[in-house]
Chain A
Amino acid sequence: MNFGTVIQSGIKEIGAHWFRSLLTMFGVICGVASLVTMAAFVKGKENLLRESLAETGGLEKITVESEDDLPDYQKHLEGEARGVTLKDVYALQNGAPMVHDITPSINKSRYRGYLRVSRKGRGARPWMLQGTWPSALEIQEHEIEHGRMFTMMDDLLANNVCVIGTEIRNSLFDEVDDQGETIIPIGERILINYVPFTIVGMFREYMSDEDRKKKEAAKAAGAAEETRSRRNMFSRGADSNTRRTQYIYYQKNNAIMVPLNTLVAKLDSSYETGSVLDRKLSEITMKIDDVSLLSPSLQQVRNVLMRTHKGLEDFEFETQEEFADDITLAIHNERVSGMFIAGICLLIGGIGIINIMLSSISERVREIGIRKSVGATTMDVFTQILIESVVLAVAGGLAGLAISPILVNTLAGLADDTTPPIMTTQAMLIAFGFSALIGSFAGLFPAIKAAKLDPIQALRYD
């Protein structure tokens, strides 16, 4: 028997009971649509998270922080613990060839201690004031859009220069002037803890690609609208992962960087005296050359530090691996729960198909008898019923694919703060493949039942 004819008759059979078929297909439609939608949202989230991982320095970044809590067997040496110092930085530069861009920094957060940034009666609330070296630019994936980064010479001379994020500019100056031109405050004076500083550079504005698009669209519509929406993006983030991502952009936009020596000499009057090399740092950040060599690189850094610290474990490592693992885990969890729902839909769809095919063949016992009496083999009948069921499921699958963009856009529109969904062909192919698979599984039992019918009994059947 010819395949095309069977498919044709399968389609005709569906058309003959189109309403019943539609109801039957509903489960498959839901399953396929939810699978594609779920995949689109998870993919969108994954991209955003990976983006933010890259924004914070990627997997290559290692941070060494001072650790006040010594291991138990070293508790009695607590008085000796100095944490990480500039001495470590120089030691690492010489002794740890597997890492580069070793950057010391002292961070002053607005939550700890006194930090006030002001200009002509206007204040800003920086996320963090960082005294560091120019290599911080690379380590923290910062980009200077206007002006320049301070140099090692600025550090050496402890010049009063700073580089700011765009949010600081917005607080101290405004984003745009009366003419609607973007304000570039290079060369302006601001006060940090009442010490005058000259702005030498400003970072670009950090935001997700999606926000950037929104902003551009808003710019076309009018600037006022845009400012509000940007303010909102942090305050009512939809879920923890989105918030986390938005948080990273928020932090980067609210940063101020000054040279390390400037911070120590001009801003930190309470700073201890003594050798420059013994200065306690907040952290040392560096990049490893090869991500696959993360643990040997960590070991190398550890070996150097254990020597400079004379065996005192008053430091700890922080890698981005945890963040990466978090991302993988979060994506995995969402995928599993989404698949579970879609799987249940498809299962119900499959059961619906089995049900309708069984009732269809019991309606058509006589037809099957007639077909057998004019020469249909067992295989012919089997194929016919199986193909009808596959056609039913595949039609449902196609309908599901057709409505999934609508579903995705509607859902994304309902909650405009969620991560933007990304529909992938791969997900669509998988969902469609599943629908075909469900169809053939669901058709198996009814097809066997139909094929086994005795032609004489079937012909007698009323």
Chain B
Amino acid sequence: MALLELRDIHKTYHLGGETIRALDGVSLDIDSGEFISIIGPSGSGKSTLMHILGCLDSPTSGTLRLDDTMIHDASSRQLASIRNKKIGFVFQFFNLLPKLTVRQNVELPMIYSGLSGKERRERAITALRRVNMEDRSKHRPSQLSGGQQQRTAIARALVNDPRIIFADEPTGNLDSHTGELILEMFDQLHNEGRTVMLVTHDPEIAAVTPRRIEIRDGKIANEADPTLAGNTPRFEQITNGEAKATT
């Protein structure tokens, strides 16, 4: 059974009488332990897709399953709990809380999972050690470089041992060298058996992942899977129409 299963996901926005189809029938399976990139130009719907996959947003129609939870009809409380325990986010702008220290930032998700102060501290230190940020645990985000901030964000994403990590343009705000280091870190996480999904507009970054999904106009336009047919791009098999027929 796939870790994540999307079937015919639609998402429409209404902006001033105009209907925008951000996602127009996306179906997708993601297995545990995969390293995937979602690529597409801005406005293609890739961010919307990530938000829906990350339980920050719910689809207008379609079904979405993570593990054995049907997410499309979960309550906001359940969604919060899923975000807390099963999902880790890494953002382009790091999104650390400036008033908290590095360690407190990493502890943040555990506050909402109700762990004791002592356990939070121990697990935060372990996660920081994992990203080589242990010695900076008492610093504030403003005292860190971009790469260090992003590593802190990765530690925060890891700390509750999530089923899947989403990274939205994780290198977008970093110089290319630091960006590479961060991508290497995601690769390592993948090698440790974690499921990682990168969202990017940059084909070069997408190239590091074995599986690439291209989004255009709210649809999966193209999926390149190096494990199939010698890395040649091929059209996504499960198209809109077929998905409807099968479900």
Contacts and interface: CB of A to CB of B under 8 A. Distances in A.
Interface of A: 1-2, 5, 12-13, 16, 366-367, 369-380, 455-456, 459
Most B C-beta atoms less than 10 A away, residue of A13, A374, A378, A456: A374
A372 B56 CA distance: 8
A370 B80 contact: no
A378 B77 contact: yes
A1 B97 contact: no
Contacts of A459: 56, 91, 95
Given A374-B156, A459-B95, A5 B111 contact: yes
B232 interface: no
A33 B95 CA distance: 42
28 contacts: A2-B114, A12-B99, A16-B99, A369-B95, A370-B95, A370-B96, A371-B108, A372-B56, A372-B80, A373-B89, A373-B95, A374-B83, A374-B84, A374-B89, A374-B108, A375-B80, A375-B83, A375-B109, A375-B112, A376-B80, A376-B112, A377-B76, A377-B81, A377-B112, A378-B76, A378-B80, A455-B56, A459-B91
Nearest to B83: A375
Contact of A456 (B56, B156, B160): B56
- Leading 4 A-B pairs by shortest Cβ distance: A375-B84, A377-B80, A374-B109, A375-B112
A375 B84 CA distance: 4
Interface string B37-61: 0000000000000010010110000
A370 B97 contact: yes
A457 to B, nearest CB: 10
A378 to B, nearest CB: 6
Contacts of A379: 77
Nearest to B95: A370
A378 B112 CA distance: 11
Contacts of A12: 99
Contacts of B51: 456
Interface string B152-163: 000010001000
Given A1-B114, A366-B95, A370-B95, A375 B81 contact: yes
Nearest to A374: B109
Contacts of B216: none
A438 B188 CA distance: 53
Contacts of A370: 95-97, 108
Contacts, number: 64
B72 interface: no
Interface string B67-80: 00000000011001
Given A2-B114, A376-B112, A378-B76, 20 more contacts: A2-B111, A13-B99, A370-B96, A371-B108, A371-B112, A372-B56, A373-B56, A373-B95, A374-B83, A374-B84, A374-B89, A374-B108, A375-B81, A375-B84, A377-B76, A377-B77, A377-B81, A455-B56, A456-B56, A459-B95
B85 A375 contact: yes
A373 B99 contact: no
Contacts of B95: 366, 369-370, 373, 459
- The prevalent SS among residues of A at the interface is helix
B12 interface: no
Contacts of A376: 80, 84, 112
A279 B53 CA distance: 107
B113 interface: yes
A311 B102 CA distance: 97
A421 to B, nearest CB: 43
A446 B158 CA distance: 32
A459 B112 CA distance: 18
A373 B108 CA distance: 11
A127 B56 CA distance: 87
Interface in B102-117: 108-109, 111-114, 117
A461 to B, nearest CB: 11
Interface string B1-19: 0000000000000000000
Nearest to B88: A374
- Of B51, B83, B89, B91, chain A has the most CB atoms within 10 Å of the CB of B83
B57 A456 contact: yes
A83 B112 CA distance: 87
Contacts of A13: 99
Contacts of A380: 80, 112
Nearest to B115: A2
A327 B239 CA distance: 88
A380 to B, nearest CB: 6
A380 B114 CA distance: 11
Interface in B97-154: 97, 99, 108-109, 111-114, 117
A373 B114 contact: no
A374 B111 CA distance: 10
A379 B75 CA distance: 13
A12 B91 CA distance: 26
A128 B56 CA distance: 89
Contacts of B160: 375
Contact of B112 (A1, A366, A367, A369): A1
Contacts of A373: 54, 56, 83, 89, 95
A377 B55 CA distance: 12
A447 to B, nearest CB: 16
A367 B97 contact: yes
Contacts of A456: 51, 56-57
A374 B99 CA distance: 17
Contacts of A371: 108, 112
